[in-house]
Amino acid sequence: MHRQTSQAVPIFRNPIVKTFRLHYNPTYREIRRKHVKARYKYRFYPTDQQKNDLARLFGCVRVVWNDALAICKNSDKVLKSGELQKLVITQAKKTEERQWLSEVSVVPLQQSVADIGVAFKNFFDSWKGKRKGNKVNPPRFKKKTSKQTARLTRRGFSIKGDKVYLAKVGIVKPVWSRDLPDDPSSVTIIKDCVNNYFLSFVVDIEPVQINADNQSIGIDLGIKTFAAMSDGSEVQSPDYSKLDRKLRKAQKKFAKQSKGSNRKNLTRLRIAKIHNEIANKRSDFLHKLSSKVVSENQVIVLEDLNVSGMLKNRKISRVISQQGWAEFRTLCEAKSEKYEREFRVISRWEPTSQICSDCGFKWGKLDLSVRSVLCVSCGAEQDRDINAARNIEKVGMGHRHDHKRTRREGKTAFVARPDDLSRITALPGR
């Protein structure tokens, strides 16, 4: 028989919980409710003439970006957007080397220069600590072989019926997979690495009010099991093995072919298509899962994983990068704002896998090969991932430990004694 113990709340330090919902200021909340931006992306098929016009447009946008970036790097300070536009657009059109800039609309060229200023601002704010998240690298020069984009504001495009007019490109007919909820404020023309063309519209929408089935849910992200939920369910990762085999075969073939040959260019396009197929498969999976999680729960709690640190492990770096944990977190955060939900992130140092979610007994660190644990205190058999997800939910909902553990204590690998008074927990306010 197992020894009967009193029911206790799992032990945690004072949780560092980040709540991503602007609900503290009702006035600002009402403003945000009317100004939630969303992107609607549609594919279109340009004619041969339009492909040439778009290639010219992408080239001009890229040249203006590179010219503006070169001026900024060679100057003592970042010039204002108006000064840069005068140098790389207005004056450049009068020169023989850049007179062909007049063949395209000036709107995307101006937006390209404006984006330079935004990129530098994000870079400086990041390194000064004014911008949250990971450090942002400075803007880089754009290549001809990478994904090409050109952004148009309302002055550069118009929608008439099921057709879209693009300045100095002509009329294109996108595949309207869904309706636009409102008039878009801008559109980005995209040509990806496999020569597919898209129109990406930015639209202001109101958050959708959907009743949540559950109050809260904790999610523990993994590799084989992509997500373990605090309600006991598990979501398996998509199977990329078939695409991985195709990719390795194409990459070996690419390495053996002559540099600059037509066959090598075709193989490069084949590799790009496989990468694109993997990305689309992952994106579809993450969008569907994040929509399901956010629509069914009022509070979503995730752990702040150190993904960049995990990628340094060569044995699992490829598998981790293929999962898309950061993209899933971004989607959950964005959709939480859209559906009026609360998105929370707990500290990565919380010992969520070291504590029984039923009785609060701490068994210490576990090897990654251990997938289930039999609690010596309450006798419950806990699945490692689901137990961690339940603890993540508890921390995210405000459970805490009154005793502040030291760094040394936080790294203990032995099983905690059930009579250790320092392990006793309590709910906030008790």
| pLDDT tens, residue by residue, 151-200 | 999 999 999 999 999 999 999 999 999 999 999 999 999 999 899 999 99
Q: In the beta sheet, which residues pair with residue 171?
A: 165
**CA dihedral (166, 172, 176, 177) positive or negative:** negative
pLDDT band at 5 (very low <50, low <70, confident <90, very high): very low
C-alpha distances in angstroms, 61 versus 5, 113, 121, 250, 346? 69, 9, 20, 32, 42
pLDDT above 80 (res 414): no
Q: How many distinct structural domains can be found in the chain? A: 1
* 307-322 tens-digit pLDDT: 878 888 888 888 888 8
* Extended strands (E) in 156-223: 157-160, 163-166, 170-172, 186-191, 197-205, 214-221
Virtual CA dihedral for 394, 400, 401, 407, nearest 10 degrees?
A: 90
Position 329 in a domain: no
Answer yes or no: is 19 within a domain: no
What is the SS3 assignment for 220-241? EECCCEEEEECCCCEEECCCCH
Domain assignment present for 126: yes
Domain for residue 401, yes or no?
Answer: no
User: What domain range is 175 assigned to?
Assistant: 41-205
Does residue 275 sit within a domain? no
Query: How far is the CA of 302 from the CAs of 329, 336, 341, 356, in angstroms?
Result: 8, 13, 14, 18
Q: Name the packing angle between helices 262-296 and 241-256 (round to 10°).
A: 160
pLDDT at 34: 54
Lowest mean pLDDT among 41-50, 269-278, 420-429: 420-429
Query: Is residue 382 situated within a structural domain?
Result: no
303 is catalytic: yes
Q: How confident is the model at residue 399 (pLDDT cuts 50, 70, 90)?
A: low
- Other CB atoms within a 10 A radius of the CB of residue 209 amount to 8
Each residue's pLDDT tens digit, 70-92: 999 998 877 888 999 999 999 99
265, 270, 274, 275 alpha-carbon torsion, rounded to 10°: 10
Q: Which member of 303, 333, 350, 358 is catalytic?
A: 303
3-class secondary-structure state, position 381: strand
pLDDT score, position 211: 78
Please, which pLDDT band fits residue 408 given cuts at 50, 70 and 90? very low
- Taking only the tens place, the pLDDT of each residue in 20-44 is 444 444 444 444 445 678 899 999 9
Residue type, 62: R
Among the options 67, 337, 358, 385, which is catalytic? Answer: 385
Mean pLDDT, range 84-109, rounded to an integer: 95
The answer to whether 372 and 242 are in contact (CB under 8 A) is: no
**358 or 165, which is more confident:** 165
Residues 6 or more apart in contact with residue 225 via CB below 8 angstroms? 234, 235, 236, 237, 385
Residues 6+ apart with CB under 8 A from 266: none
CA distance 134 to 130: 11
Instruction: Compute the C-alpha angle 133/134/139, nearest 5°.
Output: 115
Specify whether 402 is catalytic.
no
Q: Tens of pLDDT along 116-150?
A: 999 999 999 988 888 877 788 999 999 988 899 99
Q: Which of 145-154, 231-240, 377-386 has the lowest average pLDDT?
A: 377-386
Is a pLDDT exceeding 50 seen at residue 221? Answer: yes
Is 90 inside any structural domain?
Answer: yes
- Active-site residue identified among 220, 333, 340, 350: 220
pTM: predicted TM-score of the whole model, two decimal places: 0.76
Q: Which two tokens stand for residue 274?
A: 């496989």
287 residue type, one letter: H
Is residue 220 flagged as an active site residue? yes
Instruction: Give the per-residue pLDDT at 397.
Output: 84
- Residue 412 placed within a domain: no
